[in-house]
Structure 1
Amino acid sequence: MPRAPKPPPRPQPLPQASTAPHQSRGGYAPWHTIPPQKIISIEHPAIIKNVDKAIETLGGAKALKKLSETNASSGLDLRFRPEDIMQPPIQSKTVATNNILLKIRIPKRKRTSGEGPDERSVLEKLRDARGEYTVEAVGVIARTVRFRDMANYQFNTADMDIVQRVRVELGGLEYEKIKNFDIPPSRGLSDPHPILPPPAFSNTAMQHNYHYRQNPAIKKTLVAGKPALLNLQAAPKTLTPMVHISAPAVPLHPPDSLRPYDLLDRANKQCVDHLRKLFAQRPIWTRRALFNHFPKNLQSLVRFSMVHVAYMWRAGPWRDTCVVYGLDPRADSQYRTYQAVFFQVDTEKTAKGREKVRTGASHIFDGKNLVRDGRCFQLCDVTDPLLKGVIDGARVRSKCDVLSPLYPTRHFAYRLIFVK
């Protein structure tokens, strides 16, 4: 005989909200009902001792009313000197939160005569109350207004005449005063007072988090018995002397602290010997020209072996060129052809362009081929017929000028414009 279907279960009544705590099963903490009151919280960056003054710094009761009507979307402007309308404010940011506002009642402690103000914190007061306090949930903090931007630099303009006029005539927003307001059209300052400061001194509102950390390549060690930091990945330094164009004299020999030639290894000796041979043929070179006259297995050692043979110019007509020790090209006009000129050209990043760099003529300017990652050329390496005619036929100075090359300015400028 078939069974009759079971009747559907009866609906259970919904639980009623109650302000009294509900004891949960299993001995856990009781449940509390939070009133559906939505609250806006304001995080003031200052230590509040006077609530009325704190409200004035936020714009007064009018600003708080507008904040409440717009559900905190209008924001607030914080001014630590609300009476100064020229002070740049700190703007707030409203964020959504889900916090609970608690109302705690702690009975007042009997104070003895002569006792100072109670400076205990809320936590200390709760501990001293020994459970004789009440906690009530007022509502949910759904919006929080925060001031996290940095305060801008302040400039006191109270004694400036123009600022006083702006405050009196424009601050009241009266039509007649605004209509009659004018600024003298004369240029310059007729009084010793400073000019108006900018609206903001700093363009950074939020502080930067630089995430400083120690370089992992830096290791602590002992040098001569003293603690020191060593960078294991630092590029080795080159000891080649650098000379400025205004230097009274040039180096005559390598530095005394340089490692002697006899103590060098075989590869460095070959590099120094090859450099001496090249400088015997030509006293002034660019680094690119030297690389093009070196075998590939020694090119990486040129920058470290240069100190044994030559020095370099830091600025002037022979900037970034290598000159043999004891030779001062400023003393004789015959070295004018070794001057260096620089061009600003686009960088070639393709593999084809890098192949051109490896050719042995990348330091030559023939007017047809140009290596885009090389921008320094010597006048003696210019083989273009038109430019070579300008260089060879130019009038030569009798004495080297510190600020100009040995060629006159008009020839030098014409040559630069022509090449460009």
Structure 2
Amino acid sequence: MTNSASINGLASGQADCGGVACDTIPFEMVPLQDYFVVEYPGHVRSTEKVLRSLGGEGKIQKAYNSGHNELELRYRVEDPYSHGIQGTICPDDGLLLKVTRTVRRKKHRQTNGQETSDTTAEQVVRTATEVCGFITRTARFRSLADFQLATSIRDPLVKFGQAAQTLDVNRIATFDFDAMADEAGLLQFPQVFGPNVAKLPALATHYDYQQSSQMAPTYIPKFVDQPAVAVLMHRKRNEGETFLRCTTDTSVVPDGPTPAITRRASNLISWVVEELRQRFKERPLWLKHDLLHLLTAEIETRGQVVSHALPDDPNVLLAQVAYTMTGGPWNHGWLRYGYDPRLDPAARYYQRISLRLASFIGQLGDRADPDRAVLLTSATPANTPIALPFTTHPVRRRLNLLSVEIGELNVPHIHRIANLDAVLLPKSTRPSGWFHPAIHQYFRRYLIERMRAYFSREPSPHPPAHDTETEDVEAEQKLVAELITRYEHDRATRAASRATVELASLPEDVAKNVNSKVDQLMQTLEAFHDVPNGDSPDMDDEDDDFGDIYGSDGE
């Protein structure tokens, strides 16, 4: 138990020391007053100048109330080119102590009437302390002060500048620029460095530089089972690959994931990866949105949470069993490791036909089923028997493009033509894949007309030639022959026109000989293919509006 009398004795400054009165530590109540302290980095002689260098009381109050925790100090307030020192406002839990020092001197009168003061033995110093309140926040200036290059006031250029400001015509007219330069053309008056404006704290403190977290090196293991090394996170990319990407110009496709990709499989669910691998056994090429839709349905069937089963980046999951190809007819498709569509003619069914249908893109999105956001099946309108020419909703809506897979087209006419050997090229090309360019153009025009008929609810006024859904093998074979023949004839005509332009710069005898050879070649082609000389529809008319996004046709 504590004796209340002892507490009262301590509060009054007296204590019971065995019956003898003795002094104790002063006991005072701390006022409930909060203070904001500024550690000024300099010798304070005038409070007014200090406040002016800090921007005044209003700026200090604004810095205290704002959440930026910064206060600026300018030693040379009048100089607009003076750079300020940024101070940091940080929380504090100290006490503000007011110390009053009083010095009394005893005066001695000598016989001659003069007064003297003994500053050593007869000097009495008294110190009084008072606790004013709590320090909640403190502004500290621990950054280096800025300094500038100054020029001597005796420099002729400085005098010339002063004359220009005061419009002293006589000094400007008599100013001699040649006298300022030596033989090397340099000024004889060197620049003078101004003094370094440094802070003058009461106590010596070190330069407290705090490195940014983005610049600070982080010690992490560079690879698995290796010691940690210093790595700048914002300057060094993660060496682990997310997925493999190939183009139509890649000579050899990857046959499996890299070790960096395999290491990422530790965070994936094994049965999800196995389910994905089974999908690629069914068919070698998929689109990302199709796979995610199927996996989402399978996860929901098993009663699991989709966000827990699938990673945040789907490419990490897909890269375990497939790679992606950019450009060409298999653009943005994911292919099974080791499968090269450029070597398999059966890959023509996975080719995608892209159309520039800017006016139909929005309508297609409006007509889609809103309950299915990934793999959508477009319903046939109730007021018209015209059906959409594909079974699944197109997915490539980026850049005003529609992209559909030939295997997904709900058009038997196109499927029968795609099965003919006459439409195939000996080698896959980037613009049209395995199909002849004439057949590829026909497929595109056919889809454009079917799309127009679908959205207008009326039959197309310009249907494609030989547009029929009934199976007629001979008619379709004849159509393919006519399309290819017409395309080759048009290409030869364009080549001949370009050759004619080039012949203009040749000698007359050489040009005449070449022209005769070209005429003979054209007559041979016309006789061989029996192509009429009448007007024929231009196969490239639609390219102005719906051009091939994979480039011009090869010649």
TM-score w.r.t. the length of structure 2 is 0.31
Higher relative contact order (CA 8 A, sep 6+): 1
**Over alpha carbons, which structure has the higher Rg?**
2
- TM-score normalised by L of structure 1: 0.38
**Normalized per residue, which structure has more helix?**
2
